[in-house]
Amino acid sequence: MTFMKMLQPRTGLRVLVTGGGSGIGLTIAQAFVEARARVHVCDASQEALDTLREDRSNVSITATLADVADQDAVARVFSDVQSQLGGLDVLVNNAGIAGPTGGIDELDVAAWEQTVAINLNAQFYFARCAVPLLRAAPDGGSIIALSSVAGRLGYAYRTPYSATKWAVVGLTKSLAIELGPQGIRVNAIQPGIVRGPRMQRVIAARAEQLGLSYDEMEAKYLEKISLRRMTTPEEVAATILFLCSPGGSGISGQAISVCGNVEVL
């Protein structure tokens, strides 16, 4: 096998991307389609799925409307995966929310619990259902969990988000040890400050919390990145493609930051 072929995922990979109707998840799904994979996504937003279906470039992506924190909905997703893909080679556990912003004594308990349910519990639900299918993958299955740079650094006023993203790394490393003997690789991606609408909302909320303008807050974020720029969704997706290529077949149990080297949050 040539080195260039080692960098390309096998044609026909069967891929499930949670939270794949928009944002980073959709970019990941589109990257796999370009790599000639068969892709199914789930998303909690009917509007996002309608927009996805209206875009002819996404015509090959199948989808399920699902709240990832609802175990019955997760079961429906895997029923659709079986009918649409006939099995599974790659699970990208991408779905997540930003959670509330505020001091620990100010946080709403329901908002904390929702963040844990979507960012952590859902990762467990999907991995639990995916593993029996991944065991049958011809080249060994792969789970890619989306953590965050906030899963390796402390993040004041964003404790629900940071706590769940640290937990994703613990789940990843534990599953890598558990599933490795069965040929299943498990890795986490830790995106940094990713350009897009979601990051704009995060910056705006943090700016309000600290009494700063949006531009002042954005400048403070960029000062903490060695490359002094935001990461793009495409850079995150490209890293995931590599992990699912023959060239990435020796990588498991790793939390890989794609962040321009965020130094502190």
| Distance between CA atoms of residues 139 and 243, nearest Å | 13
- Token code pair at residue 167: 């937990």
**DSSP codes joined into one string, 49-93:** HHHHHHSGGGTT-EEEE--TT-HHHHHHHHHHHHHHHSS-SEEEE
Cα 105 to Cα 98, 101, 112, 117: the distances in Å are 18, 11, 12, 20
- DSSP, residue by residue, 223-241: HTBTTSSPBPHHHHHHHHH
* β-bridge partners, 143: 91, 186
Q: How far is CA 142 from the centre of its chain?
A: 13
Supply the residues annotated as catalytic.
161, 165
Nearest-angstrom CA–CA distance, 84 and 106:
45
